[in-house]
Amino acid sequence: MLRFILRRILLILPVLIGMTIIMFVIARVLPGDPVGLAAGPNATRAEIEALAREFGLDQPLWVQYWTYLSGLVQGDFGTSLFSRRPVATDLAAYLPATLELVFSALLLAILVGIPAGLMAAVWRNKWPDYLSNILSVAAISMPRFFLGLLLQLCFAMWLMWLPLGGRFPIIFDPPPGVTGFYTIDSIIAGDWDSFWTALRYLALPAIAMSLSPLATILRMMRASTIEVMHQDYVTTARALGLSPRLIVFKYVLRNAISSSLTVIGLYFGWLLGGTVLVETVFDWPGIGLYATSAIVSQDFMPVVSVALVIGVLFVTANIVIDVLYGLINPKVRYQ
């Protein structure tokens, strides 16, 4: 297993290096004058040139990249051209909010999608199967930002059960930061009022993000379960008189869930990169909003850093999925 993990880690190093090169070059060659925007409309030519020298933007592109890469190895993501704050500080403030939202959405999709897909396969061509087909198609086809607006209209405006947006009431202090996840930090602090408040603010954006992966996991789980149920060892288990419940949960589920793990890993990266719309609709202070404001102002260093962090998290998630897949199916460890 250790060789299996090390082999996966070594394979991602060229991917990460290539990602830094591509993102750095693209951010530099895009049209616009970020230094002029940062200096302001009334800045003189001398002031603009001085600002460019301060941030090393007057150097050749390969020198700028080497400086960035050297700082990146030491944990320095550079400095924002507009806010003059270290990008690493901003990422540390915004990333936990996005991760809490993505993990919550993915957890909700897994907890509902896998049992629903299993049930749809067991009750194939019956009303649970037909109902899951209708709901999954509707969930995939509906844009997340539009679904978020509908959820706000229904549960925040009409029923007034949940807050309209934000992450925590501005008139209250959030729980003491340990993990950066308000729900977990509230549990650690033993503050159940804060936990319930954070959960209420998290509910609508998490639901809006979860429906698309939920539908995909459901459909994948259904197809995999149907395929496994036609295998010879399942037929043998039935012939031996084992109970249907034992066959489904002991033999079918373990083999059918393997293909769903791949989808879950892919959706983790997709959700990370697709949080912009949901965070904008719900005013969720994550890296999606942070990257959007940086793109509008042509502040390329935060854009490159956000893309790199998302890429690293996506690759890490795939390594975890590979490890889990190896634990479930030991044959892949030797491939």
User: Considering the domain boundaries, does residue 287 fall inside one?
Assistant: yes
At 326 the pLDDT is: 66
What are the tokens at 149? 């607006």
* Domain membership of residue 288 as a residue range: 87-334
CATH of the domain at 286: 1.10.3720.10
User: Considering the domain boundaries, does residue 29 fall inside one?
Assistant: no
195: pLDDT strictly greater than 90: yes
Quick check: 324 and 10 in contact, CB under 8 A?
Answer: no
User: Considering the domain boundaries, does residue 224 fall inside one?
Assistant: yes
At 32 the pLDDT is: 66
Buried b / exposed e along 72-108 (16+ C-beta atoms within 10 A): beeeebbbbbbbeebbbebbebbbbbbbbbbbbbbeb
User: Considering the domain boundaries, does residue 22 fall inside one?
Assistant: no
Range of weakest confidence among 26-40, 171-185, 218-232? 26-40
15: pLDDT strictly greater than 60: yes
Quick check: 35 and 52 in contact, CB under 8 A?
Answer: yes
User: Considering the domain boundaries, does residue 213 fall inside one?
Assistant: yes
Q: Of 152-166, 219-233, 248-262, 282-296, where does the model show the most confidence?
A: 152-166
30: pLDDT strictly greater than 80: no
User: Considering the domain boundaries, does residue 67 fall inside one?
Assistant: no
Buried b / exposed e along 35-50 (16+ C-beta atoms within 10 A): bbbbbeeebeeeebee
Q: Could you give the percent of the chain with pLDDT greater than 90?
A: 13
Count how many domains the chain has.
Answer: 1
At 108 the pLDDT is: 92
User: Considering the domain boundaries, does residue 282 fall inside one?
Assistant: yes
At 320 the pLDDT is: 79
**Mean pLDDT confidence for 314-322:** 79
Quick check: 315 and 16 in contact, CB under 8 A?
Answer: yes
At 333 the pLDDT is: 53
253: pLDDT strictly greater than 70: yes
User: Considering the domain boundaries, does residue 324 fall inside one?
Assistant: yes
DSSP conformational letter for 162:
S
Amino acid at the residue 204: L
Stated pTM of the model = 0.83
Q: What is the pLDDT of residues 145-163, one digit of tens each?
A: 788 888 999 998 898 899 9
Whole-angstrom CA distances from 219 to 132, 149, 165, 274 are 8, 26, 31, 21
State the chain's mean pLDDT as an integer: 82
Interior angle at CA 215, CA 183 and CA 261, nearest 5? 75
